[in-house]
Structure 1
Amino acid sequence: MAPSRALYTSSRTAIRRLQPLGLQQQRRCISAYGYEQAKCLVIDKLGEPKDVLRLHGHSISPPHGDLLTVRFLASPINPADINQIQGVYPTKPTFTKDLGTSEPIAVGGNEGVAEVIAKGGNVKGIERGDWVIMKKQGFGTWRTHAQTTADNLMPIRNKDGLKAEQVGTVSVNPMTAYRMLKDFVDLKPGEWFIQNGANSGVGRAAIQLGRLWGYKSINVVRKRESGMEELKNDLKSLGADVVVTDEEVESKEFRDQVKELTNGGREPVRLGMNCVGGKLVNSMAKHLAPSSHMVTYGAMSKQPVSLPTGLLIFKNISFDGFWVSRWSNENPEQKEACVTEVLDMTRQGKFRDIPMQPIKWDYNTKQEELVNAVQGTLEGFRSGKGIFVFGKT
């Protein structure tokens, strides 16, 4: 019998022995020799998720030295994860042969939270049972287990009162909103910012953080045939001051509304945030005060941002870009401080996590179900962010 088959058989035998005791639901897929039986969503080439993603199984040996073994609890499906698989993202997936394949494969996903279940004797500062998130992009989080070193992980010092889904989604959307609100313009309480994609994860985070810091917000969303009022009321419940559609932004009535909202410009709109692109950006920039900043962090419409000469010359509007992955890699200590602050707000009920669509991932979950969940994030309006929630595996 092949070694891997023997390990799996040992695991199955151990499970059968536990069943009479009523302990089947508490099983871990682990061999008699302590090898974790892990599964992960992987690719061996770039392309559409439905065409290239597959479920791969492998064994993880007990950790030694400076190694830790972690069990994932929750891992979201972000647009950047999809773009990375498609090959249209600035960074490519990390391909490796370390997962027991003859050809290199890469694990999907860049964000998530895991629990430390075992560690080598040289590991300091992280204990079994601790929750951790990834310090940098490219780790591969769509998996049940992983083995790594402590320098790739950021411990969550206080997980009390928090759900895994909240911790697993803290390092991308809230961090993007936090840094854009703080790093480009010294906004004062009572001043305004304007953003499109306001119902996205970043948009919802910006509304809440802005409200907590005393900023006012104009929030632009795509017009839709149904559910418009419900969406506006939802964003206003988070603290949005104004919610308008992309069509309304270009109207004369909106120009008059902005003038009235800003008290004739005495409470100026000094920051714009863009994740859509196209002509909408210029329509928003027209409402910015002189020497303001328009910060682009996404391109959902896949349309370019054109720089209007008049706004550059006569209003000195700056058009900037922000990429949270680069910021996180260059500022690990600041990232940890921001994560801690946002999780404290969450724990206190001051910051609401985004609506989510959980996808349960147990040991026996089929490949088709997981791949369909990834592919489904590309289709139409969604009621929440897709997120893998892992059972006891």
Structure 2
Amino acid sequence: MLSLRNGIISARWICAKQLVYSEYGDPTKVLKLQTIELPDKPPAGHVHVKWLAAPINPADLNTLQGVYPIKPPLPAVAGNEGYGRVEQVGEGVTAVRVGDHVLPAKAGQGIWRTDGHHKENEVFPIDNELPQEASATLQVNPPTAYRMLKDFVDLKPGDTIIQNGANSAVGKAVIQICRLRGIHSVNIVRKRDNLSDLVKELKELGADEVITEEQLAKEYRGKIKDVRLALNCVGGKSTLFLAATLGFRGCMIPTGPLIFKDIRLAGYWMSRWYEQPGNTEERKRMYAELGGWIKSEEFRTPSFEKRRLEEHAAAIEAAAVQFDKKQLFVMSE
């Protein structure tokens, strides 16, 4: 925006904060808080987004370490997931309007910032009525669970799926979606001191069975069978235990044995799905269904510890070791 001061026309600027990295390495060391001046009026075809909240996911840490497949040109603003509000639109923008809540259309755009100018096709509108935590985490874990349960096997009410790593964020989303769709879920977790508390938590989300890998290999051996879909995030010997439960032409994602039963193997990466042409309408339907469950309180979001951008070092350290609660940068309420 232009203002007139002493007869001189000048541009108006916004003071914005962002977390940037110029090299790969220890996330607590390479990440720096930076303040920049941003024109308050976006150029043609762009939108000004005030980013409101963004979680720290394992993929964010891997990106900072340089081991994630997506590598934005350096220096780069960190953060792959989050949501914001459209503050202004540039000339020619039609896909979103001022006031819309939006997600990044794909990963790697840099969301750990207070404000940013983005191309119109780099943001994706969502339901404005979703709560903050749900909006900030709508792009990665719930859609990953949703698509894995929908895109590989035509699951019907009464069918059975099995998954390991069931206490992960994706695992908890799988449990809830299965409950909502009448699908029986068998959930494998690692043996631990607080196992009874974890079993109670997962069953409250809707898990039908919660057992350890040792139980699956021994007392449950041969009792769980004709499973349609196995979700394997652990690998190793757990793969064989899951495969033993699959029925004829069952499917395991993402890894599994290559022989017997005509089992299909399918890798899955949510970021690639977002980039595939033709998924726009299906993405809208997916967000609408997930959003409906969230608003009716049938689907729970994870627990969070809210942080300011200035607390990035402590937040990164906690995200690397604290798995029962996600770290959430809150830039603006």
Is TM-score (shorter-chain normalized) higher than 0.5?
yes
**TM-superposed deviation, 1:383:** 2.5
User: Where does residue 243 of structure 1 map in the other structure?
Assistant: 210
Give the TM-score taking structure 2 as reference length. Answer: 0.91
- The answer on whether the counterparts of 1:136 and 1:325 sit within 8 Å (CA) in structure 2 is yes
Whether 1:384 and 2:318 are equivalent positions in the alignment is no
- The answer on whether the counterparts of 1:295 and 1:320 sit within 8 Å (CA) in structure 2 is yes
User: Where does residue 68 of structure 2 map in the other structure?
Assistant: 89
More helix by share: 1
SS in 2 for 1:247: helix
Greater mean alpha carbon deviation, residues 237-246 or residues 121-130: 121-130
2:283 to 315, 335, 345: 335
**TM-superposed deviation, 1:256:** 4.6
Unaligned 5+ residue runs, structure 2? 1-9
How do 1:119-130 residues align onto structure 2 when only pairs under 5 Å count?
Answer: 119-130=89-100
User: Where does residue 37 of structure 1 map in the other structure?
Assistant: 15
Give the Cα separation in 1 of the matches to 2:138 and 2:176. 14
User: Where does residue 169 of structure 1 map in the other structure?
Assistant: 137
Give the Cα separation in 1 of the matches to 2:298 and 2:163. 21
Give the Cα separation in 1 of the matches to 2:280 and 2:97. 20
Whether 1:322 and 2:288 are equivalent positions in the alignment is no
SS in 1 for 2:113: coil
Give the Cα separation in 1 of the matches to 2:23 and 2:53. 25
- The answer on whether the counterparts of 2:239 and 2:257 sit within 8 Å (CA) in structure 1 is no
Give the TM-score taking structure 1 as reference length. Answer: 0.78
User: Where does residue 228 of structure 1 map in the other structure?
Assistant: 195
How do 1:140-289 residues align onto structure 2 when only pairs under 5 Å count?
Answer: 140-156=110-126, 158-160=127-129, 162-225=130-193, 227-251=194-218, 253-258=219-224, 265=225, 268-289=226-247
Unaligned 5+ residue runs, structure 1? 1-31, 96-103, 259-264, 297-304
Give the Cα separation in 2 of the matches to 1:83 and 1:237. 32
- The answer on whether the counterparts of 2:186 and 2:208 sit within 8 Å (CA) in structure 1 is yes
- The answer on whether the counterparts of 1:190 and 1:215 sit within 8 Å (CA) in structure 2 is yes
User: Where does residue 46 of structure 2 map in the other structure?
Assistant: 67
| Residue type of the alignment partner of 1:127 | R
Q: Output one character per residue of 1:275-326: Cα deviation in whole Å (capped at 9) or x when no partner.
A: 1222112111111112101102xxxxxxxx5x546xx13x122222111110
Q: Which is higher, the Rg of structure 1 or of structure 2?
A: 1
Q: Output one character per residue of 1:363-391: Cα deviation in whole Å (capped at 9) or x when no partner.
A: xxx3xx21221232122x43211111123
2:31 to 50, 53, 65: 53
CA 1:187 to 1:125, structure 2 compared with 1: closer, same or farther past 3 Å?
closer
More strand by share: 2
1:371 to 313, 327, 333: 313
- The answer on whether the counterparts of 1:54 and 1:371 sit within 8 Å (CA) in structure 2 is no
Q: Point out 4+ residue stretches in structure 1 off by more than 4 angstroms.
A: none
User: Where does residue 4 of structure 1 map in the other structure?
Assistant: none
